[in-house]
Amino acid sequence: MTTAIRLIRVSLKYMTEKGEVHAVNSVDLAIEQGEFVGIVGPSGSGKSTLLSLIAGLLLPTSGRVEVFGQEVRGPSSQSAYMLQQDCLLEWRTIEGNALLGLEIMGRVSAEKRLTTVTLLNEYGLEEFRHLYPRQLSGGMRQRVALVRTLATEPAICLLDEPFSALDYTSRLTLQNDVSTILRKSGKTCVLVTHDIPEAIAMCDRVIVLTNRPGRVKWNLPIELSAGEKQPLLRRRAPEFGKYFNRIWEEMELSVATEKTS
Amino acid sequence: MLLLKKLLRRYYLSKQAQTEEHADYLAKVLLTRATITLIQIALLVGFFTLWEFAAEHKIVDAFLVSRPTRVWQTVLSLHANGSLYLHVGVTSLETVIGFIGGTVIGTLLAAVLWWWPNVSRTLDPYLVVLNSLPKIALGPLFIVWLGTSPTTIVAMALAISLITTILVVHSGFQEVDPLKLKLVNSFGATKWQAFKYIVLPGSLPTILSALKVNVGLSWVGVIVGEFLVSRAGLGYLAIYGGQVLNMHLVMTSVLLLAVAAAVMYQLVVLFEKKIMAHHQ
């Protein structure tokens, strides 16, 4: 297997007038191609920072971030984001939104346009192509955001709490849809979330971070006897609760040590 | 009234009403709306009738406050010698140049401040001082610098609207959703692309509301400018009327001004609606 993402002793600190803030501290991490990895941890543990580092939106103050063996020196078309909100541009049509990434990269062609429209069709959005985002429901909007992410054909998808703004029912449905789509495409995915069951249901492996400055505390492969990849079915596996409790306890510990220190 | 309601109710029952209660409701909605419109018209007619009546019966001095019939005669005579359209046209044109210029130049300068945040931080106190300065005080400077020409009048209109436009639009630029910026940055957007794709369209509502405010400010600037220097325009007409104690002329200019300003504002609102159709 090829390693898609490798973080070698990655630290990031930034200066404020009060002093230095260490956002993440000496993180070592390797993610294989095609793996679906979840990152959980207490608030402020640098989960989102890790994603920004992989995406090249932030550069580490020390250490090295590699994507397919190449050092990351800035945003590249190899990785694409899905964010907390769908971030659809209200003034563009659904199709215009789906094409945004390609347009910014200057890669729009008749062929790419066709691929994007095909993606929209696949996710049941064909009749909404020429509508505007406000005419769509929250779940459908997030689906458009997914198409926008996939249209640039990234090898790596970075999901930064992509479902946190949705209501519970849409969240479960969309977890299922997004997971199925991404797994079928064989992309390497990193999911940052507050929601522990979401991480267990969607990921092959869950990484627990410590409190700030974030370090990898625990690396937990998820093996559910159901053998299913669909999050909704995985939630029914008998071990689901056990995984939840173990991760919960780890996070509690982190919070507890923070309070005593 | 009751008869009218019954008739309306029967009409709605034969049309879109689903139940009798729904028909009652629809009748009530229409009656309320009609009543409000009627009272609005009555207020306007009543005001002019009362004014005319008071002048006719010497309750007020028509020499000082004029009267509707004389205003109408003045409008007709201005129309007859063709100067009506000159004055309304000149003032409107100056105003349009003023508010479009103020909005466009203000937005461009706001973009400069957005592009170089440290320039913005450096200039901030000066902008605040300029913003609180009563711009009308600059009038004498413009007369000396630009002469007694329409340029001075447009400069006055620009001076009044420019600084607030810069401040308002710049703060609009800064309030653009940071997640959207993160998104385009993750696609590797350049600063110009971030501006073109996110910041400018995202601030369009702010820019349009600045435009609407500038319509009002521009009228003030233009009229003050015309008071100071001009040979034509509604402001000139008003000040001239005042100097020769022709109150009919003053009142006529004021009323024409009210109509022109209202029409222009509605046009801008229409323009805003058209642009904003897909923007929420």
To the nearest whole Å, the CA of A108 is away from the closest chain B CA by 13
pLDDT at A261: 47
pLDDT at B280 over 70: no
Best CA proximity match to B240, nearest among B94, B89, B78, B79: B78
DSSP secondary structure code for residue A157 in this structure: E
Q: pLDDT per residue over B18-29, tens digit each? A: 888 888 888 889
Q: Which residue of B has its CA nearest to A97?
A: B197
Q: Which residues of B touch A101 (CB under 8 A)?
A: 187
User: Which helix (H) or strand (E) element contains residue A22?
Assistant: strand A19-32
Q: Which domains does chain A have, with CATH numbers?
A: 3-78+154-260 (3.40.50.300), 88-153 (no CATH)
CB A105, CB A44: distance < 8 Å: no
pLDDT at B279: 72
The C-alpha atoms of residue A162 and residue A150 are separated, in whole angstroms, by: 14
Whether residue A79 and residue B186 make contact (CB cut-off 8 A), yes or no, is yes
Q: What percent of chain B has pLDDT over 70?
A: 100
The C-alpha atoms of residue A113 and residue A103 are separated, in whole angstroms, by: 10
| Angstrom distances, CA of residue B133 to CA of A130, B127, B129 | 48, 10, 6
Q: pLDDT per residue over A140-150, tens digit each? A: 898 899 899 98
What distance separates the 2 farthest-apart alpha carbons in chain B?
Answer: 78
Mean pLDDT of B107-112: 96
Helix (H, G, I), strand (E, B) or coil at A99: coil
- Of the listed ranges A89-98, B174-183, B228-237, the least confidently predicted one is B228-237
The C-alpha atoms of residue B250 and residue B67 are separated, in whole angstroms, by: 11
Q: pLDDT per residue over B63-75, tens digit each? A: 999 999 999 999 9
Q: Which two tokens stand for residue B127?
A: 């902008």
Q: Name the average pLDDT for chain B.
A: 92
Whether residue B185 and residue A75 make contact (CB cut-off 8 A), yes or no, is yes
User: Which residue ranges of chain A lie beneath pLDDT 70?
Assistant: 1, 226-227, 253-261
Best CA proximity match to A36, nearest among A238, A244, A234: A234
Number of A/B CB contacts below 8 angstroms equals 56
Q: Which domains does chain B have, with CATH numbers?
A: 2-60 (no CATH), 73-278 (1.10.3720.10)
CB A218, CB A45: distance < 8 Å: no
pLDDT at B94: 93
pLDDT at B75: 94
Instruction: Choose between A231 and B46: higher pLDDT.
Output: B46
Instruction: Choose between B123 and A178: higher pLDDT.
Output: B123
The C-alpha atoms of residue A173 and residue A175 are separated, in whole angstroms, by: 6
pLDDT at A259: 54
Mean pLDDT of B168-197: 93
Helix (H, G, I), strand (E, B) or coil at A59: coil
pLDDT at A232: 80
Q: Which residues of A touch B188 (CB under 8 A)?
A: 74-77, 104-105
Q: Which residue of B has its CA nearest to A102?
A: B187
* Model ipTM over 0.90: no
Please give the model's pTM, rounded to 2 decimal places. 0.85
